[in-house]
Amino acid sequence: MGNVDLNDIRLFVAVVQAGSFSKAADLANIPKSRLSRRISRLEAELGTALMDRSKRGVLLNEVGEQFYQRAQEMMQAAQTAVNSVQGKLDTPGGLLRLSVSTEVGRGFLMLHLAEYMRRYPDVLLEIEINNKKVNMIQDGIDIALRLGLPEGDNVVARKLTDIELGLFAAESYLQRAGRPKSPHELHGHALLNKYDGPEWRFTCKQHSVHIQGGNKLNSNDANLLGQMVSDGAGIALLPCFDNMLREGWVRLMPEWAVDTVPLYLVYYKNRGSVPTVRSMADFLLEKFGRR
């Protein structure tokens, strides 16, 4: 193409479509004299005149007609290319990696994944379910769902909800070991504790009691503790997700309040505008908002 400036071709098409230099200059918001010089430069680079100029407007010669057709096609192709990229950037697609704790994964996330996948069919989900503290950069995580306020200046933490906790035991265990009526009576029971979870702190009518849980079992997996409750192994402090509560469980001392645990959606600041990350963040906020 030699030294031909593609912007000069764009201006040439604008002049032809406007019908005159004056109107094209107004539409392009540039001086008419400058526009005229740009078209003259284009003709000089091509080595031929493209149009005749008169007070009535512009009239393309035979070479100008052919050049205009090809130039118009080029501009349309360029716009199509730009639109395809912008459309791709605006549409959620590609790999999205999530990290989520076991209880949140089972108690909430898995209930809505199918809907998300139907809504965003071009997104490939990769979900890591564990209770370890992940390094989002090193592990390549786009979004993490974590209990408690995360640390770090370069992350965005959006609170989804406060998770309610309850004290649960199986009827079979209570028949064998007795039913505690107050937190003080827990000392004589088998306590199953989530060691990376909240403290066992109970409040009733401005009276607070702190209990050291885990005298029989400590684990970082609430699902394991739930199974132990079902098997009659003891009493556990567990999230009150509907699909984690099992038949045969009894909620103990509901009049004694337990501190809720905040659940946060976390992603890095420079990832928040990525359509795939934004789609999942908005989806989860929508679902927790309904709850």
Mean pLDDT of 110-125: 93
Nearest to 180 by CA among 223, 209, 221, 219: 209
Q: List, for residues 25-68, the tens digit of each pLDDT value.
A: 888 888 988 988 998 898 888 888 988 887 677 888 888 888 88
Q: How confident is the model at residue 89 (pLDDT cuts 50, 70, 90)?
A: low
Q: List, for residues 200-257, the tens digit of each pLDDT value.
A: 999 998 888 888 887 899 998 888 999 999 999 999 999 888 777 888 899 999 999 8
Strand ranges (DSSP E) for the chain?
51-54, 57-60, 94-100, 123-129, 143-147, 155-163, 165-170, 191-194, 200-204, 207-211, 217-219, 235-239, 249-252, 257-258, 261-268
Q: Is the pLDDT of residue 1 over 60?
A: no
Confidence (pLDDT) at 101: 86
Confidence (pLDDT) at 88: 60
Please give the DSSP secondary-structure letter assigned to residue 18.
Answer: H
Contact (Cβ atoms closer than 8 angstroms) between residue 130 and residue 223: no
End-to-end Cα separation, the chain, in angstroms: 62
Contact (Cβ atoms closer than 8 angstroms) between residue 267 and residue 155: yes
Mean pLDDT of 168-180: 94
Strand partners, 125: 96
Domain 6-90 has CATH 1.10.10.10: yes
Q: 44 is written with which tokens?
A: 């000089």
Confidence (pLDDT) at 115: 95
Q: 138 is written with which tokens?
A: 């090193």
Does residue 49 come out as left (phi exceeding 0), alpha (psi in the -120 to 50 range) or beta? beta
Alpha helices in 91-170 (DSSP H): 102-107, 113-119
pTM of the predicted model, to two decimals? 0.64
| Planar angle of CA 18, 21, 27, nearest 5 degrees | 55
CATH of domain 165-259: 3.40.190.290
Strand partners, 129: 100
* Between 1 and 135, residue with greater pLDDT: 135
Q: How confident is the model at residue 123 (pLDDT cuts 50, 70, 90)?
A: very high
- The domain limits of the chain are 6-90, 94-161+262-290, 165-259
Please give the DSSP secondary-structure letter assigned to residue 253.
Answer: -
CATH topology of domain 94-161+262-290: D-Maltodextrin-Binding Protein; domain 2 (3.40.190)
Whether 165-259 and 94-161+262-290 are alike in CATH topology: the answer is yes
Q: How confident is the model at residue 272 (pLDDT cuts 50, 70, 90)?
A: confident
CA–CA distance, 161 with 147 (Å, rounded to integer): 10
